[in-house]
Structure 1
Amino acid sequence: MDRTQPAPTAAPASGALPARATMSKQAKRATHAAFFGFGVDYFDIYLPVVALAPAIHFFQPKGIPPTVETTIFYLTFAATLLGRPVGSIIFGGISDRVGRRNATLIAVAGFTVSTFLMAALPGYAQWGYGGIICLLLLRFIGGIFMGGEYTSANPLALEACPAPRRGIVGAYIGGAYPIGYIAISAVTLPLLSFLPGGSAGSAYQEWGWRVPFLVGGLLGVAFFLFFYRSIDESEAWKAEAAKEATATDSAQEKKTPLRALWRDRVVRRRLLQMMLLMTGLWFAVQSVISPVSGLLITYLKQDAGAVTTALLLSNVALFLGYLTFGHLGQRYGRRRLLIISGIGTVVVSVLGFLAMLMILQNGGNFTLAMVLYTVSLVVSISPFGIATVYLIEAFPTRMRASGYGVAYSVSLVIPSFYSFYMLGLSSFMPYIYTPLVLIAIGGVLTTLGAKIGPETRDASLTEVVAA
């Protein structure tokens, strides 16, 4: 496959960084807004994993088997992940048709309201299974709006960014994930210190878990106000909209950017390649990150406060990993780094995760176990510091939000059922070791997806990468 791409400016020599480009005030505002919005998004996504994990019995009956209890806990996380692809499809079209800014504002308002409503839910004692059903429903609806937020805000930011800075800016925006995780941990840890959540009827289990949800809602309000007052519409989108308004042959394509993704052979092939890559990266997320707090707290009976603290520190390291991968991707090429990281996931991340589990299962040193987990985390998840910009660079302006949103989020659907894969694998291997299989699958798919794709480092965001 020919991996050439348009280069509107002279490409830098291999391995050399291009000259420093100056970012406009609008580009800086849009970048910080995208970072903040992504951070709020991930804060809300991981509310069940961090804030609700110590109080999950509030929504569950007593006496259920630990495996079922853990699976219900995972479903509160998966519900949001399943909503995000729906939101990306819906809001990708909105963003491409009516503008990135308007789509972002609608999306932020939606997930903010959903988060506030979750903070008010009653538990199993009041509503029986109705409480957990409403929680799952609100998580799904919130996920739809969360998918719309980054599908609109991230293209807006990168369209305003000069090409020599896109790798770093994309990594900075993507790094909002660990920052969001750190923020929710910082909110939850003091609550767990003063309101222990390990016993039924404790203050944290009855009402303390609601505080992080309220904080998540307030962050959504702050982001909406900042975006509304400070961010202008994307100039690239406005230029494309003006061009298509006078071009009758592209009018239908403007109305249906999602259909346009499949009608264009080059774009369709690029979309499928990006979805393969992202499926691998999402498998890594779902196997390295999502099960950990549940496995450690519920299954291996580790202290909730110690686990939350350790994961907070791990995510500080992950943020640095995002920035490092973004810099290396800008210097040596996004595709090359993604291939290397996929191989590293299969080898390094699998071994690190395995060592962590074996140490804790045998009563070994908790600190050493979490250091090994951090290595596994950084190797397998830091490539997300490249993924956002790599995907956005792959699609033309008229369908960029739709292409990015579908590739980024629809790829999440299959990996979202990781808890069921773990249950199925547990029929012939110990349950706590089942994430290892999924980690390896993620690494293989990431490597293949990057291998068949293009290098996009020098691509123009007004053109599509050639097949």
Structure 2
Amino acid sequence: MSTPAPSQQVQDRSVARKAVRGASLGFAIDCYDIYLPIIALAPAIAYFLPPNTSLADFALINGLIFAATLLGRPLGAVMFGNIADRSGRKKATVIAMFGSGIGTLIMATIPGYEHIGLGAISSIIVLRFLTGIFLGGQYTGAVPLAMESAGPQKRGLYGGLISMGFPIAFCVVSAITYIILTLSGPSDGSTDDFYHQWGWRIPFLIGAIATLSFTLYYHQTVVEKARNPVVKTEQKSPFIQLFSGENSRSLRQVFILMTGVWLLSNATSASFPGTLRSLESMGNTRATLLIVLYQIALIIIYPLAGALSQKVGRRTFFIITGILGMVAAPIIYTIIISGSLESNVSYLILTIALVTCSICTFGCTGSYLSERFPASVRSSGYGVAYSVAIIIPAFYNIYENWLSAFMPLQYTTITLYVVGGLLVTIGAILGPETRHIDLREDRYQ
């Protein structure tokens, strides 16, 4: 492949920056939408349920809302992966973002139980499923496009920058929800207060406006070059191609790796916070502060992890982080939950160390998953590997409850770290090194 002229190189860098900026902002906005029911809607969930609903039913409903989004994302990955591979990454991203924005906007208008009965909670579950489909489509198109636009030497860093959307979204949703709850004043336990009636709608409206505004921005600024005619005229469905030949072997390998990535992540981001809050030496306020601080730390850790993967190689990076997750994370976790620490600084240092050993793998997934599949199935492969692999780890609490018959409940999370780290290590060993692959060759040249 000939070296582009200097003017062409400048243009290519501009295209790459716009694509990465678009993927980063889009991913942050999508993560914002993912966190909305968990953070903003949860304090007002009683507004949608019959009076005197039991705690067990509350937990069941919250689980159904989470599961609805979870089931929608793999379906969206398949649907929009096909669109992205056949008709273009940008087209798929714009449609997916618009759909998720409309879904979030409708969510903000749902009446409570006193107005439409069980139709209220049913509407939320259905809308979260539909929105999940569009959420699964956004990163399926935008991330591979950003990786294809970037040169091999920058792809690791760019992948890490895109992953910053997770902690940024968490912090933004948490801050908005906290401000509205504070301004709403103390609740008397009924559903007649401001937050139950109107307050929870504000974060959803903000999310809808941000999503729809970003859709327009992405459509106008992000450029997708003309594709290779061989790719464009491929007759077989990308999804069908994904399950044959070398593509099938790649999918199995990254599925093992991503299952481990999600297990490590859920151990720290989902299971650990509850255990932290339950410690006698901690308290809810102190624990919440630590959680917010480690989310802020992740904003720095992700791009550093992505850049490191570019330096040492994706395969080596995953092997190292897999071993850290399997060996170091359980030790750090045990020290933290032992309650033997006294200072906030000690808790913060060890908590950030735990995050680094378990969640920083996401700084490399955007680049690696894009590199593992050829252009004809890249979006489908990326979306399916990323979205379907989350299903088994999502039921981490069930596994912990089973294990609690053999060990104290708070120590069952250690098993998630060990199994997750082992799967990441095995998945990395089974796969090739990919950092030097030029994704532009098979798509644009």
Q: Which TM-score bucket, shorter chain as reference?
A: 0.7 to 0.9
* Counterpart-to-counterpart distance in 2, 1:40 and 1:419: 27
2:230 pairs with 1:243:
yes
* Counterpart-to-counterpart distance in 2, 1:199 and 1:304: 20
| Runs of 5+ unmatched residues, structure 1 | 1-7, 11-20
8 Å Cα contact 2:15/2:222 also seen in 1:
yes
Give the match for residue 315 of structure 2.
335
8 Å Cα contact 1:356/1:370 also seen in 2:
no
What pairs with 1:134-283 in structure 2 (closer than 5 Å)?
Answer: 134-195=123-184, 200-201=189-190, 202-233=193-224, 235=225, 238-240=226-228, 242-244=229-231, 251-253=234-236, 256-263=237-244, 265-283=245-263
2:33 pairs with 1:40:
no
User: What are the superposed Cα offsets for residues 260-288 of structure 1, whole Å, 9 maximum, x if unpaired?
Assistant: 1222x222111110111001111122222
* Counterpart-to-counterpart distance in 2, 1:287 and 1:173: 22
Secondary structure at 1:121's aligned position in 2?
coil
Give the match for residue 398 of structure 1.
376
TM-score by length of 1: 0.83
8 Å Cα contact 2:29/2:207 also seen in 1:
yes
2:302 pairs with 1:322:
yes
* Counterpart-to-counterpart distance in 1, 2:122 and 2:270: 20
* Counterpart-to-counterpart distance in 2, 1:9 and 1:330: 23
Give the match for residue 389 of structure 2.
411
State the Cα distance separating 1:67 from its structure 2 match.
Answer: 6.2
* Cα 1:322–1:299 shift into 2, 3 Å: same
Secondary structure at 1:401's aligned position in 2?
helix
* Cα 1:71–1:306 shift into 2, 3 Å: farther
- 1:218 is aligned with what amino acid? I
8 Å Cα contact 1:189/1:305 also seen in 2:
no
My pick for the range that moved more, 199-208 or 445-454, is 199-208
- 2:132 is aligned with what amino acid? G
* Counterpart-to-counterpart distance in 1, 2:249 and 2:271: 33
Percent sequence identity over aligned pairs: 38
State the Cα distance separating 1:203 from its structure 2 match.
Answer: 3.2
* Counterpart-to-counterpart distance in 2, 1:437 and 1:196: 41
- 1:425 is aligned with what amino acid? L
User: What are the superposed Cα offsets for residues 131-156 of structure 1, whole Å, 9 maximum, x if unpaired?
Assistant: 33322222221111011000001111
* Cα 1:357–1:130 shift into 2, 3 Å: farther
2:424 pairs with 1:446:
yes
* Counterpart-to-counterpart distance in 2, 1:450 and 1:210: 43
Secondary structure at 2:174's aligned position in 1?
helix
My pick for the range that moved more, 131-140 or 67-76, is 67-76
State the Cα distance separating 1:368 from its structure 2 match.
Answer: 5.0
8 Å Cα contact 1:185/1:308 also seen in 2:
no
8 Å Cα contact 2:231/2:375 also seen in 1:
no
Secondary structure at 2:433's aligned position in 1?
coil
Secondary structure at 1:310's aligned position in 2?
helix
State the Cα distance separating 1:324 from its structure 2 match.
Answer: 1.3
State the Cα distance separating 1:315 from its structure 2 match.
Answer: 1.1
Give the match for residue 119 of structure 1.
108
* Cα 1:197–1:146 shift into 2, 3 Å: farther
* Counterpart-to-counterpart distance in 2, 1:284 and 1:60: 34
* Counterpart-to-counterpart distance in 2, 1:292 and 1:131: 32
* Counterpart-to-counterpart distance in 1, 2:2 and 2:293: 41
What pairs with 1:73-88 in structure 2 (closer than 5 Å)?
Answer: 73-88=62-77
* Cα 1:9–1:204 shift into 2, 3 Å: farther
Give the match for residue 292 of structure 2.
312
TM-score by length of 2: 0.87
Give the match for residue 51 of structure 1.
40
- 1:45 is aligned with what amino acid? I
What pairs with 1:89-108 in structure 2 (closer than 5 Å)?
Answer: 89-108=78-97
Give the match for residue 403 of structure 2.
425
State the Cα distance separating 1:302 from its structure 2 match.
Answer: 8.0
2:379 pairs with 1:388:
no
User: What are the superposed Cα offsets for residues 298-317 of structure 1, whole Å, 9 maximum, x if unpaired?
Assistant: 99898766655433221111
8 Å Cα contact 1:45/1:77 also seen in 2:
no
- 1:347 is aligned with what amino acid? V
8 Å Cα contact 1:91/1:151 also seen in 2:
yes
8 Å Cα contact 1:74/1:291 also seen in 2:
no
| Runs of 5+ unmatched residues, structure 2 | 4-8
State the Cα distance separating 1:328 from its structure 2 match.
Answer: 0.9
State the Cα distance separating 1:381 from its structure 2 match.
Answer: 0.9
- 1:379 pairs with one of 357, 363, 370: 357
User: What are the superposed Cα offsets for residues 149-186 of structure 1, whole Å, 9 maximum, x if unpaired?
Assistant: 00001111111111111111111112221112122122
State the Cα distance separating 1:322 from its structure 2 match.
Answer: 0.7
Note the aligned Cα RMSD (angstroms): 3.1
* Cα 1:173–1:188 shift into 2, 3 Å: same
